[in-house]
Amino acid sequence: MGILEKIGEIEREIGRTQKNKATEYHLGLLKAKLAKYRQQLLEPTGKAGAKGEGFDVMKSGDARVALIGFPSVGKSTLLNTLTTTHSESAGYEFTTLTCIPGVIEYNGANIQLLDLPGIIEGAAQGKGRGRQVIAVARTADVVIMMLDATKGEKQKELLTMELESVGIRLNRRKPNIYFKPKKGGGISFNSTLTLTKYDCTSDEFVDVILGSRVYMPCIYVYNKIDQISIEEVDRLARKQHSVVVSCNMNLNLDYLLSTTWEYLALVRVYTKKRGERPDFDDGLILRTGCTLEHVCHKIHRTMVSTFKYGLVWGRSAKYSPQRVGIHHKMCHDDVVQIINK
Ligand SMILES: Nc1nc2c(ncn2[C@@H]2O[C@H](COP(=O)(O)OP(=O)(O)OP(=O)(O)O)[C@@H](O)[C@H]2O)c(=O)[nH]1
Ligand SMILES: [K+]
Ligand SMILES: [Mg+2]
């Protein structure tokens, strides 16, 4: 019998079995068996699979967020709640076997949210399809590490180690160092600031030398808070970079969205024509720290060459409107009018 048939058989048996105290143990065994077979589906088979096909999904929208976590923490439930896409969610592990993209609309931006298979210890070495999952995470602008609030802190440590082992640095700043190889061998390095003993650890230095490191913002999302005490919720909510939610009960998901927006570091800027009202239905989505030059580029590639000055209303303006040059830094929800030569 093939794996798929075995899976089908167990699923049918689970479907037939009434849920009650007497069958609880038996159902548990069935789910464990199901998870085992589903995990085998994830394992690379034969030569072709050894390399493992990637989960390449086209990038779309203004930014990308990847969902990383152990099996059954509720990743698919989150995707189902926040987007119109459906991803199978169920009470057994390895329900999701591939990458499923959905879209969150927030502040006028389209944010691509990627549901992924659960990863397990050893993922970075290729266990499950861990490598492929992690490869997708690398392409994201923000990682949401989903954790089961009813389980210990161990999951966070293990996942962080898996990601670290392949060069993904979470919530850490890229050290301010650059280097160039010297002609006669060796390297010379330089810092953009004066280094003190504490500015850069030897590990960070190795990171810079080896390159291929990615520094990513990460939100630790503790799901299933409906299952824990209020004191415990409070404790988890106070942790750095953490948000507590219940995907099933729709608790605190608004806060998760606003935190995601903040970590994505996006801003929305509106444009207006002379004598007209701003078009509040159609903002431009840019990165925090962008200047009027970025805005011009976003409107049209030739805009910069004809730019004379800008008029800005909003938080970046000292008074409204303020006449500004091309290097003016924009704030979220600013309105700008561009005057051409
Ligand atoms: N109590 C509780 N259960 C939840 C919550 N969110 C999800 N679940 C349950 O957790 C189980 C797993 O949910 P999934 O969405 O399939 O989890 P997943 O992380 O996508 O799982 P895999 O794809 O197998 O890795 C399901 O039975 C969900 O109903 C929550 O907020 N509270
Ligand atoms: K599951
Ligand atoms: Mg899933």
pLDDT tens digits for range 148-185: 999 989 999 999 999 988 889 999 987 666 666 667 76
Among positive and negative, which fits the CA dihedral 268, 271, 277, 281? negative
More confident residue, 316 or 214: 316
Average pLDDT of the segment spanning 246-257: 97
CA of 207 to the centre of ligand 3 (A): 32
Q: Name the residue among 47, 91, 50, 49 with its Cα closest to residue 72.
A: 91
Q: Is the pLDDT of residue 193 over 80?
A: no
Q: Is the CB of 260 under 6 A from ligand 1?
A: no
Q: Name the residue among 11, 43, 66, 99 with its Cα closest to residue 216.
A: 66
Nearest CA to ligand 1 atom 13: 74
In angstroms, the Cα distances linking 62 to 112, 126, 280, 297 are 8, 30, 18, 15
Q: Is the pLDDT of residue 50 over 50?
A: no
User: pTM of the full predicted structure?
Assistant: 0.84
Q: In residues, how long is the chain?
A: 341
Enter the ipTM: 0.99
192 burial type by CB count under 10 A (0-12 exposed, 13-18 middle, 19+ buried): exposed
Q: Name the residue among 221, 222, 199 with its Cα closest to residue 142.
A: 221
Closest atom, ligand 1, to C-alpha of 251: 31
Q: Is the CB of 162 under 6 A from ligand 1?
A: no
Average pLDDT of the segment spanning 57-78: 96
Closest atom, ligand 1, to C-alpha of 80: 15
How much is the pLDDT for 45? 56
How much is the pLDDT for 52? 53
Closest atom, ligand 1, to C-alpha of 249: 31
Average pLDDT of the segment spanning 243-263: 97
Closest atom, ligand 1, to C-alpha of 247: 31
Q: Name the residue among 297, 293, 301, 291 with its Cα closest to residue 330.
A: 291
Band of pLDDT at residue 287, cut at 50, 70 and 90: very high
**Which two structure tokens, joined as six digits, stand for 221?**
């999302």
Q: Is the pLDDT of residue 103 over 60?
A: yes
Q: Is the CB of 77 under 6 A from ligand 1?
A: yes
Residue with tokens 């849920």: 19
Residue with tokens 């030739």: 302
Q: Is the CB of 74 under 6 A from ligand 1?
A: yes
Average pLDDT of the segment spanning 12-38: 90
**Contacts of 27 by beta carbon, 8 Å cutoff, 6+ apart:** 14, 17, 19
Q: Is the CB of 271 under 6 A from ligand 1?
A: no
How much is the pLDDT for 59? 92
Kindly calculate the radius of gyration of the chain based on its CA atoms and give it in whole angstroms: 24
Q: Is the CB of 72 under 6 A from ligand 1?
A: yes
Contact 90, 139 (CB under 8 A): no
